[in-house]
Chain A
């Protein structure tokens, strides 16, 4: 390990380093818990400076910020039409881990957080694709985990879903062109869970989750609650 950049941490927290210096300190932080702890305290001080300037912005600003990114909710033809363009985004593993801990760490058992963190850590090098919440089931979240080495494990979804209504289940689909292939079923469970996909999605495929009758359907009959492109 290189020397701790002790002298530069204050300037890093204050945002006054040159780009090159900033990169060097950032790279060091990736692997040094000591400096991260030090930085944490310095960031408190920098944030305190910022707080002295806090001022109410015009009320219209919030709506402007949100509506600029909000997907248009038009009338929908085909079930899978009109979806907000899936964010073609691979979440870095560290963020996915932190996100999973955030999802389960605040309400559920610590044990669950560990389970899912381990599950993701087991496939380091996996590609993670965030699924977009389509607005059909508020609070639904999902991440697709695709191991880089296909022999390592099947691709799977980490999902946070509300309970399916009685007699129903959540079903995962791989959508290839205009064909939807059933890829896994979640019955009788809510909260954060994982489901291994029985069909491996290829590049360009969409992965989606819909609400279906218990036992699953051969074709989706409702609009997806989550969708993302591989």
Chain B
């Protein structure tokens, strides 16, 4: 049983550890980069695997992403978001770049189309690895209306901007924006409710 106080204190402590790691990385400490990888490498690699559809490419792009972290650590701004979100953004941008410059067009399209399905689909190896928490998150996403789910998937796994989603799905930009907003807001509420029950 965890109270919200404990949750937020743990979160704040984790955030401080992360910022400390970024400081050490900025100072040229390669071991700190390894520690950051220990904390978030599984998630970054997993997201890039989903986005790029190949473990070999995901490995290469994850390596590029951590190299960017090494070079950009001094420009991390705590006001603009948590370290792990910043890290994830660097990884996702690297994946989007890779797709644009190196990926074959047909594969790229196939991967993006697939993205729209990815919140429903569970691959066999995922089912084995999925933690209870991942199942609960998937369940929370599963309760969103299908059009919100699709927009979140195209944005997150597909790496598309809101205007690109509007163009691809033939939906007005304003509608895409409000689906992103509603989907994220609901997801946040459901995850918060879920954390209280846990």
Contact partners of A57 in chain B: CB under 8 A: 41-42, 45, 58-59, 62
B112 beta carbon closer than 8 Å to chain A: no
Contact B156–A99 (Cβ < 8 Å): no
Contact B77–A92 (Cβ < 8 Å): yes
* B residues 7-41 touching A (CB-CB < 8 Å): 13, 16-17, 19-20, 22-24, 26-31, 33-34, 37-38, 41
Contact partners of A41 in chain B: CB under 8 A: 188, 192
Known: A14-B152, A51-B43. Contact between A95 and B37, CB under 8 A? Answer: no
Known: A15-B89, A48-B137, A61-B62. Contact between A130 and B17, CB under 8 A? Answer: no
Contact with B along A44-64 (1 / 0, CB 8 A): 111111111111111001101
Chain A: interface secondary structure?
helix
Residue of A nearest to B31 (CB): A66
Residue of B nearest to A227 (CB): B28
Contact partners of A26 in chain B: CB under 8 A: 77, 80
Contact partners of B85 in chain A: CB under 8 A: 13, 43, 46-47
Contact partners of A44 in chain B: CB under 8 A: 188, 191
* B122–chain A nearest beta-carbon distance, Å: 10
Residue of B37, B137, B181, B188 touching A52 (CB-CB under 8 A): B137
How many chain B residues touch A (CB < 8 A): the figure is 78
* B121–chain A nearest beta-carbon distance, Å: 11
Listed in ascending order, the chain A residues whose CB lies under 8 Å from chain B are 7-8, 10-11, 13-18, 26, 29-30, 36, 39-58, 61-62, 64-71, 84, 86-87, 89-92, 94-96, 98-99, 101-103, 105-106, 130-133, 141-143
* B71–chain A nearest beta-carbon distance, Å: 9
Residue of B nearest to A69 (CB): B30
Please report the C-alpha to C-alpha distance between residue A47 and residue B11 in the assembled complex, in whole angstroms: 13
Known: A68-B67, A103-B20. Contact between A43 and B81, CB under 8 A? Answer: yes
Please report the C-alpha to C-alpha distance between residue A142 and residue B184 in the assembled complex, in whole angstroms: 41
Given A14-B155, A41-B192, 9 other A-B residues pairs in contact with their CB atoms under 8 A? A43-B81, A55-B46, A61-B41, A65-B37, A65-B63, A66-B30, A99-B20, A102-B20, A103-B20
B177 beta carbon closer than 8 Å to chain A: yes
Known: A11-B162, A102-B17. Contact between A50 and B180, CB under 8 A? Answer: no
